[in-house]
Structure 1
């Protein structure tokens, strides 16, 4: 599976937002290691719409400096929010030490890759997994594990979205969302 900014039209959305809005944009860009640390196959079952939502979940439709992120009302609406509800991120911290949480994942936001209006890009060491896609009642849930003779399911199986220290599947390693850091560089060329 490959999440592509062009295939999902997300690049066009970012470009339009930067060119037509006075609000700017903030992007959280998972590193390649963030994707490698996902459980194998965690992203393979996403539909095209869910791929778009995952990409949009890493974006805020306003420019925020690192020090301003901890002052946001949480949950803060992401680009994935819409008629299906609020897909929010929670921010905690102070000054230049800020954490972002989805309810499933929490990660520290470190030094910005870019923090010049209208675009802020922050590399992060984990993929932000929205509960709407990866929580207990996720829409892409696989069939439940077979019941044992005692009627209990195998508790050693975990949700596909749980991070693990192992490598992701070959298809998952090619996920282009990790390249969103490169997108920040491309966007700098667009707005410069």
Structure 2
């Protein structure tokens, strides 16, 4: 009986030996505290009253930002302001102002629908003139020189394909120039100067401004005017006939005239009386 009890105890220990660690783990105080059945319930926050839902309206699309165009100036394009902004046209600006050609351009742009084309000579162009050449011109020549750089209509580069040469300038129809277009290049001939347009400074439907690197000198500045015809010589007048009479020819010498007078008077005696008379000398 005693041996049977020992065998039963031995067999029980043998059966329970794989589970001691598992049992210890399951019934440990930590696992028992974390067991869902025994864990204390978390406190429940009080219910917050929910506001009634506000109906959502569709957002109004924002209007696109439109760039505001610059306000146009109250007057026509300002030629001097355009040249000042471009730079290197100081001498040409001074010539326009001193001859009041800038005013002529402004008035023509204001009053005419044809517009105007300007060939602006750069400071480099004026520097190529002979020393003192510009100052040697009279005020009238300076005014004509400035106007010779203007054409009385606005012309684009392509427009020069259809113009008829010679082209009249603001200096007058008797002071023309020739402008020819080759590809995109403008060639200008004045009879003294041959040059090309080196750039476009400004162009719109009223004004075209092109740069040239030679001053456009008109031919008549260097042509010698024909001498005026000599006045027709007057025919010699006929001499008036010499007076005739006692003294004879007026060409008689003074001595002959005295002799004639002396011989013309004589005194004779007759009967105690003196008789004066004329004595003819032969």
The TM tier, using the shorter chain, reads 0.5 to 0.7
Match of 1:24 in 2: 115
In the aligned structure 1, how far is the partner of 2:225 from the partner of 2:142? 14
Give the RMSD, CA atoms, in angstroms: 1.9
1:48 partnered with 2:139: yes
In the aligned structure 1, how far is the partner of 2:126 from the partner of 2:95? 14
Residue 98 (structure 1) aligned to one of 186, 189, 194: 186
For residue 87 of structure 1, report the CA deviation from its aligned partner: 1.1
TM-score, with normalisation over the residues of structure 1? 0.65
Query: Would you say the 8 A contact 1:70–1:98 is kept in 2?
Result: no
SS of corresponding position for 2:210: strand
Match of 1:89 in 2: 177
| Stretches of 4+ aligned residues off by more than 2 angstroms | 2-7
Residue 115 (structure 1) aligned to one of 203, 221, 228: 203
1:94-114 Cα offsets, whole Å, 9 max, x none, are: 341110110110111132101
Gaps of 5+ in 2: 1-90, 227-282
For residue 138 of structure 1, report the CA deviation from its aligned partner: 6.8
Gaps of 5+ in 1: 140-192
1:69 partnered with 2:166: no
SS of corresponding position for 2:97: coil
1:12-69 Cα offsets, whole Å, 9 max, x none, are: 1100001111000000001100011111122222111111000000000100001212
**Greater Cα shift, 27-36 or 68-77:** 68-77
Match of 2:213 in 1: 125
In the aligned structure 2, how far is the partner of 1:12 from the partner of 1:58? 15
In the aligned structure 2, how far is the partner of 1:111 from the partner of 1:86? 28
SS of corresponding position for 2:208: strand
Match of 1:36 in 2: 127
Give the number of aligned pairs.
134
TM-score, with normalisation over the residues of structure 2? 0.45
Instruction: Provide closer, same or farther for how the CA distance between residues 138 and 12 of structure 1 changes in structure 2, counting only shifts above 3 A.
Output: farther
Which one has the largest radius of gyration? Answer: 2
SS of corresponding position for 1:50: helix
